[in-house]
Structure formats: C-alpha cells, structure tokens
Structure 1
C-alpha cells in the first residue's frame, strides 16, 4: 500500500493501491506511520510518488459513500487523512512530490503538502470535489492559493476543471517539469543534491520561510536574523567555512 525505500538519506514513499492509488483510511494510516517512523531521524529528504501510472485519484469515494450515515460519517476518513497530510506538511526536512499522470482531489492536496513538486508532461491536476457536492478538506483551499494565487485557485476549486503540466508550470505550481516517465528520476536527482546539504540549516531556512507567510515582514526579518546568527555558530557553518578555505566540498553527512 505504501512502498518504502531509503537510499543515501532519501526516503521514497510510493502510493500503491491499484488501480488509481485512491487514499482510503488504511492507506492514510499507513502513510502517517511511515512519516512518523523513527527511521526518519536518519533521513534527509522525503519523496512521495505514485505507482500504477499515476499519482493518486484522491480520496476513496466508495469509502466516503459507505461512511455516510455512520457514526462520525466521512469524518473518520478525513481525520485519518488529515493526520498523514499534516505530518507530511510539517516535516522539517525537504519534501518532494514526483507526479506522473493524475493527481486529483485528495491526491492533489497531498502534492501541495510537499515543498517541491516535480511533474512530467503526463501530469494532470484537478480538485473535482465540488462535482460531488463535497468540500476539499485536506488543505486545498488553503495551500493552493498560496502556491498559485487566489483567483486561479478559486477557478480550479469551484469549477473542478483539470490543468495539464504546462499550465501548472506556468502558474507556478511546479518546481520542475520533465518528459513523461522522468519525474521520479528528476525528483531523486534533486533529493540527492538536497541530501548533501546541511540538514539543520536547511530545516531552519524552511521553518523561517514558512513562518514568514503568517507574520509581519519586520517580525519575520528580525526572526530570520536571530536564526542566521545561531546557524553561524553551528558545526555546519564551521564545516562549510573549513571546506571553503580548503577548496573542497563540505561534508555535512556526519554532523548532528
């Protein structure tokens, strides 16, 4: 259901639930467990991708229908999904979505939880919940406007229409666009580069940039300065400076 590999500090999580990797409660709980696994302490980057020729068709509509009228109803599925999605979004280390084929509804919302979105020319993105009379409850109404702007996000969410990879790139949704079949390779190349970087410094930069979205500019710049001063006294900065003067590549791999 969630295939996991770890290679050189990069954890790859592959959604594998044929035929379209629909996210049911079991898959959501499995994903949350993987993201909270103690092995993450040794990981420096996470890649999320899909098997079966696509990323994910979103929430399991059959399970949603089955849960209607039951105790807690669809909330049981959404709660399980929310734990996994928020755990991914809150990761301190860099995260990458590698997208081939369809990323729909909850699948597209899972993509939005990642820092980088790498998609091939085959990728298609949509938020079709409105067509079922349901709400995109897993962050789409929040994260999509922050990626592509309010007007474009409102268009996609209220109409449920689909956009291709070229449009997604032009709108600023994607970090990289590749030829068909090459999204995961491109994501792995990016992940390897990030994994060689200073883990604590990358996490601090990511945290400060996220925080800056929600606080006044003067407060954000003051906090960034404090973080820069703290990082300047860190073992990572010492290694970076040592390597610079030695004209060598820094080695951050064994630092705490």
Structure 2
C-alpha cells in the first residue's frame, strides 16, 4: 500500500511488515523542520504496525539527503539553532533506537545530516554513483546529529577523521571498502535493492535480530570479557523467553519457522 503524498515532504509505502519512508522535499531533501516532522510521521506508522523493517529512500534524483537546512540555520538566533539541532537529533535517534531494523537506500548525495540519517539505519545500500560526506567543517561547524560518534564506529578513527577534517566526499566504492555502506548496487537501484533486503530481513526472528544488534553494539564499548558475558546472557534469554523454541522445533520438523 502506498499512501498519497499530497505534496508532503515524505511519502509512506507499507508492504506487509515493511514501512518505506521516501524523502521528497525539493530540491535536495534538506532536513528542515517539515522533513523532520515527516520522518516522525513515518516512524509513527512503523510503531502502529508494528514494522519489522523500515526503509528510508528518496524520490529526488541525485540526492538521498543533502544535509541540514542551511537556509534555516542562516536565519535563526542561538536559541532557535539549538532547538533545530535538538529536533533533528530527536528524529535521527528515534530511527536509530527503533525496534524495527532499518535500511537506508542511498542514490546520489548523502551529505551532512543526510549521511547522519543514513548512518542511524541498521544497514546501508548505495548506488554506484553515490557520494557521501560530512562537510560541516567547511561551514565552521561539526557534525551535530551523531556523525562524530557513528562514523568512527563504522569505519574506524583514522578514516573518520580523514572524512570529517577534510570535509571531502567519499565515492561508493570507497564507502564499501571502509564499511560506510554494506551493499553496493548499480546506480539507480538502491531503493529496489533496499526493499529486497528488507523482505529478506523479515524472515528470521526479530527478537534474535535485535539481540544481534545489541550484542554487536556492545563490542564497541565493553572489554572483550564483558562483551562475551553479555553475548551469553543474550542467547540464554532467547532460549528461555525468545523464539528459539519455535526455531529449533521447525528445524527438527523440517519446516519454515513461524516467528512473530
């Protein structure tokens, strides 16, 4: 089901347990307040289903999202700048912490806040003509919606500093090589590939998938011995109260599991 956009800055497409939020704010999907509100509307829809996977894509040729709304930033005082930053961070963090897995479909430019939005997703699929970057230093700023934190987690300290200190753009092949994106597809195919990945992600146990994400994330901020202990706790929890009993029974009975 596709919901009409009526000129809205984003439209929604619902296919079973998959919600696709398609950014559509001319000319370049700048993440101003209207688009931030539209992101929340899409996440509300994902909550209501509830969705297993969220896809974030773009209807704008050549752009995933060009970044924060610089025109808005140029016209506000310090208090309004702070409020705008809080609003953008709230939308990005809501996506990052959502129960559903998420996939960013990047075709074209993903810069500044646009890349921060993509990095908040669980996985990123990019077309071969995509370019990504965090150019905030060229404005006398730093990434302010999670970029300084998520980029090092994805690519490591050195590559993250290289990208942020120079403000340069990374092409899709480099992005794949350093781990900024997870799958590389032909130009223009990112949304289709992201939908296919979303359908694939709907098959396994959502409880187990969420535990995978939690456990992998723990590897970044815990010593190895604590991470291993957390891993053991997660698998025990899944065995006792998750969907492991159905998965194991289905394997023994040679049938597809029926996960929630």
Common fold by TM > 0.5: yes
Q: Answer with 70-79 or 115-124: which moved more.
A: 70-79
Matches within 5 A, 1:6-25: 6-25=14-33
Report what 2:128 is aligned to. 121
1:195 aligns with 2:184: no
Alignment partner, residue 87 of structure 1: 94
Cα shift readout 1:53-99 (whole Å, capped 9, x = no counterpart): 120000111000011xx260311211110100111111232111100
Partner in structure 1 of residue 5 of structure 2 = none
Alignment RMSD, CA only? 1.5
Contact 2:151 2:160 in 1 (8 A): yes
Query: 3-state DSSP class of the match of 2:27?
Result: coil
Match of 2:74 among 65, 68, 72: 65
**Deviant stretches of 4+, over 4 Å:** none
Q: TM-score, normalised by structure 2?
A: 0.92
**Range with bigger deviation, 178-187 or 31-40:** 31-40
Q: Does 1:32 align with 2:77?
A: no
1:130-188, CA deviations, whole angstroms, 9 ceiling, x for partnerless residues? 11112211111111111111111111111111111011111111110000111111111
Indicate how the Cα distance of structure 1 residues 165 and 40 shifts in structure 2: closer, same or farther if over 3 A, else same.
farther
The number of equivalent residue pairs is 251
Specify the alignment match of 2:4 in structure 1: none
C-alpha deviation, 1:32, in angstroms:
2.6
Deviations 1:115-144 (A, max 9, x none): 111001111101111111122111111111
Which of the numbers 242, 246, 249 marks the counterpart of 1:242?
Answer: 249
Structure 1 96/40 Cα, relative in aligned 2: closer, same or farther at 3 Å?
farther
Q: Which runs of 5+ in 2 are unaligned?
A: 1-8
Please, what TM-score do these two structures have when normalized by structure 1?
A: 0.93
Deviation at 1:37, TM superposition (A): 4.3
* Equivalent position of 1:209 in the other structure: 216
